[in-house]
């Protein structure tokens, strides 16, 4: 069992590898390969990944770090794609340029999202073709590359027979916050969701078979935000300071509850006032509250 991470130089890679390694027996994984076109970044991340696998966890999983396509994909069963075409330098432009013109500056939505999508679709198609050429015939690509919805549609149209699943963690991140707000265990939760990755709605959330969406609706209405009480306690001081001064505060919070995310979770309340029967994905803020998000965005900073 060979699993290849495309975008191996990403700072997310060590966490992903550790998740795979901790499920070594369940996944029956023999080898993990890191593939990236940025050799320097990947070399640095590769040192950490090697330590995690062989020193920290003491596992016998083989690690291959490469910039060669054939080496990366030959006989691979799964390819996890997390590419960022143009790197963070281009993401900065995707966010700042629209804001200078009074438009939403966001990496997956609006003008910036479209620009990012245009950069990403064809490298994704190239990746599909390379995996098709070298990997096992029953391969699967799990694509985590943004902008999720645009890339999903591009792959569907240009490579309709590809064995690829395009995913995003925002729906499950919302469920994490919902469970924290209602003090319920996520393992006992089931839900119904429709839409395409970022652009979607929850129509039902059930805890041990009982519908909790009405209870959640009351919680959001009372607090005028979808965040747990434990996060809200520190939110006043968080919002009173400059974003760069709050990066290390409240380490118990997840990465979706800091800085500019405050307005994202606030938007859940505002949108639900108009659509009370659904719980919106947070990305709907950028479509339905464009004016408000531009007004409280800083054109000199990125998220």
Q: Which fold has domain 171-295?
A: L-2-Hydroxyisocaproate Dehydrogenase; Chain A, domain 2 (3.90.110)
Q: What is the pLDDT of residue 261?
A: 76
| 221: phi then psi, degrees, rounded to nearest 5 | -65, -40
Q: What is the pLDDT of residue 263?
A: 81
pLDDT tier at 248 (50, 70, 90 boundaries)?
very low
CATH 3.90.110.10 range(s) for the chain read 171-295
Residue 258 reports pLDDT greater than 90: no
pLDDT tier at 132 (50, 70, 90 boundaries)?
very high
As a whole number of angstroms, the distance between CA 198 and CA 1 comes to 31
Residue 242 reports pLDDT greater than 60: no
Q: Kindly name the residue from 30, 68, 129, 169 that is annotated as catalytic.
A: 169
Residue 26 reports pLDDT greater than 90: yes
CATH 3.40.50.720 range(s) for the chain read 2-168
From the candidate CATH numbers 3.40.50.720, 3.40.50.300, 3.30.830.10, 3.20.20.70, the one assigned to the domain spanning 2-168: 3.40.50.720
| pTM exceeding 0.75 | yes
- Average pLDDT of the segment spanning 94-119: 93
Closest to 163 in 3D by CA, of 182, 186, 187, 137: 137
Highest mean pLDDT: which range of 132-136, 192-196, 233-237: 132-136
Share of the chain above pLDDT 90, in %: 71
As a whole number of angstroms, the distance between CA 273 and CA 211 comes to 19
Per the CB < 8 A criterion, the answer to whether 302 and 92 are in contact is yes
Q: Kindly name the residue from 144, 191, 283, 286 that is annotated as catalytic.
A: 283
Rg (CA), the chain: 20
Q: What is the pLDDT of residue 231?
A: 76
Q: What is the pLDDT of residue 298?
A: 87
Is 278 one of the catalytic residues? no
Is 134 one of the catalytic residues? no
Average pLDDT of the residues of the chain: 89
Residue 246 reports pLDDT greater than 50: no
Q: What is the pLDDT of residue 27?
A: 93
List, for residues 175-206, the tens digit of each pLDDT value.
999 999 999 999 999 999 998 767 899 999 99
User: What six digits make up the tokens of 47?
Assistant: 């040192």
């Amino acid at each position: 069992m060979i699993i290849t991470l495309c975008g191996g130089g990403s700072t997310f890679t060590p966490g992903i590898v550790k998740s795979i390694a901790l499920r070594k027996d369940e996944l029956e994984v023999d080898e993990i390969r890191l593939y990236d076109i940025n050799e320097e970044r990947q070399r640095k991340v590769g040192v950490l990944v090697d330590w995690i696998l062989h020193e920290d966890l003491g596992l016998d999983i083989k690690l291959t770090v490469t910039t060669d396509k054939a080496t990366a994909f030959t006989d691979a069963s799964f390819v996890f794609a997390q590419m960022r075409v143009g790197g963070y330098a281009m993401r900065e432009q995707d966010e700042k340029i629209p804001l200078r013109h009074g438009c939403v500056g966001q990496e997956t939505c609006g003008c910036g999202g479209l620009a990012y999508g245009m950069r990403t679709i064809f490298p994704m198609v190239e990746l599909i073709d390379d995996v098709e050429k070298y990997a096992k015939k029953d391969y699967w690509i799990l694509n985590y590359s943004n902008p999720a919805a645009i890339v999903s549609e591009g792959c569907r149209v240009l490579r309709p027979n590809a064995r690829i699943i395009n995913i995003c963690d925002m729906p499950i991140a919302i469920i994490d916050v919902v469970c924290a707000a209602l003090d319920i265990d996520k393992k006992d939760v089931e839900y119904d969701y429709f839409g395409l990755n970022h652009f979607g709605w929850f129509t039902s959330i059930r805890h041990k078979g009982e519908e909790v969406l009405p209870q959640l609706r009351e919680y959001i209405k009372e607090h005028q935000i979808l965040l747990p009480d434990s996060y809200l306690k520190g939110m006043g001081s968080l919002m009173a300071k400059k974003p760069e001064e709050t990066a290390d505060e409240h380490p118990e919070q997840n990465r979706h509850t800091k800085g500019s995310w405050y307005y994202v979770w606030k938007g859940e309340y505002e949108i639900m006032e108009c659509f009370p029967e659904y719980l919106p994905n947070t990305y709907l803020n950028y479509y339905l509250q464009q004016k408000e998000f531009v007004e409280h965005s800083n054109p000199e900073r990125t998220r």
